[in-house]
Amino acid sequence: MANSWCAHLRADPVPWLLEAENPATRYLTLRDILDRPAGDPDLLAAQAAIPGYAPVAELLARQKRDGYWVKRDYCLPKLNGTFWVLCVLGDLGLTAEHPLIRQSCGFMFSFQRERGPFCRRRRVAGKGILWDSQPGPCTHARIVRFLIQFGYGDDPHLRAAIDWLLASQRSDGMWDCGRPTRPGCLRATHDVLRVAAIDARAAADPAIARAAVAMRDLLMESGMHRYHVSIPWTTLQWPPFDYSLPTTLQSLARLGYTLADPKLTEATDYLLSRQLADGSWPLDQTSSRPPFDPGPPGKPSKWVTLEVLQALKLLLGTASGVEGTTAG
C-alpha cells in the first residue's frame, strides 16, 4: 500500500487479505482498503466467488425451504439461528441478488409489525403463538443493518424500522434492553451506530449525534459490564456479536469523529499496538457456537485484521501523522 496512513503499520497485511482462498476478505479489501471502483473486474470476480466459499456455501446449503435456519423463531438457536447467520452473511458482501438471501429477507420481513419493529412470534403454553410486545433494540438494529447491506435501504418498510429505532432512544443517548432504571446498553447503542454508519438518512438524525457522544464518552473505559456487555474494549472478537472496538471506531469515524479527539487517539494507538510482526491482528475471542468457524483464538485472523484496517484507514487516512498516534 502506498497511502501515507500505512506508514503507521508494522507490516502490510493486504497481500494476505487478498489471497484467493477467502473471496470475502479479498472482496472487502479491494472495496474498502484499496478503493476499487464498483465495476472493477477483480472486485466483481471476488464478490461473485463469495457464495462458493466453503464456510458460506455450507451455511447457504443448510437454509430451510422457507428461508430460515434451524427454527422458525429467527433468534433460536442462539448464535446459529436465522438472525445470527444473516448478521454474518451481511458483513461478508452478499446481497439480495442471491436468491437464497432474497428468500431469507422475505422471511425476516414477515416478522415486522405495523409500526416498524421486528418482533418474534413464539408459542406460549396454553395461549398459542403470540407476538412479543417489542424487540430488543440491539436485535432490531442488527436486522436493519443486514437488510441495508442486502440492498433494502430504500424499502419503505425498512425506513419505518429505522424510524422506530431512532424514536426508542433513551434521554442519555443510549438504548436499553428492558432495563430502564439501569445504565443503557452499550451493545444496542453500538448496533444503532453501525446502522447510521451505512445509512446517510439515519446518520443525519439528531438521535445519532447523541448516541455518538455517549459511545465516545465510554470509549476505552473499564467496567463495561454495567452497560450490558461482557467483554472489555481491548478484546478483539469476531463475529462482533457483543460489540467491538474496530467497528465502534469505524462508526464514529464515518460520523465525523477524528484523531483530534483524545479518546479516539487512545483507541487507535491500542489497535496499532496489537498488530503482529507479520502485519496481522489476532483473534482474542469468538462465541462458543458461531455460524461458522473464524479460526482459533490467539492466532492471526483475516476477519479481525480486515475490521481493524477498515477502522485505521478511516481515521489515519484523514489525519495521518496526528501526534500521539504511532505504530508503538
pLDDT tens digits for 39-86?
999 999 999 999 999 999 999 999 999 999 999 999 999 999 999 999
User: Reduced to 3 states, what is the DSSP secondary structure of residue 306?
Assistant: helix
pLDDT tens digits for 275-295?
999 999 999 999 888 898 899
Among 128, 123, 26, CA closest to 72: 123
Q: Residue 324: its pLDDT value, please?
A: 39
Q: Residue 321: its pLDDT value, please?
A: 38
Measured distance CA(313)–CA(319) in Å, rounded: 10
Answer for the pair 130, 124: CB distance below 8 angstroms, yes or no. yes
pTM to 2 decimal places: 0.93
Q: How confident is the model at residue 96 (pLDDT cuts 50, 70, 90)?
A: very high
- The residue-averaged pLDDT of 83-92 equals 97
pLDDT tens digits for 203-232?
999 999 999 999 999 999 999 999 989 899
Helix (H) or strand (E) holding 251: helix 245-254
Three-state helix/strand/coil letters over 57-110: HHHHHCCCCCCCCCCCCCCCCCCCCHHHHHHHHHHCCCCCCCHHHHHHHHHHHC
AA letter at 258: T
Measured distance CA(2)–CA(11) in Å, rounded: 12
Alpha-carbon Rg for the chain, nearest whole angstrom, is 19
Q: Residue 1: its pLDDT value, please?
A: 56
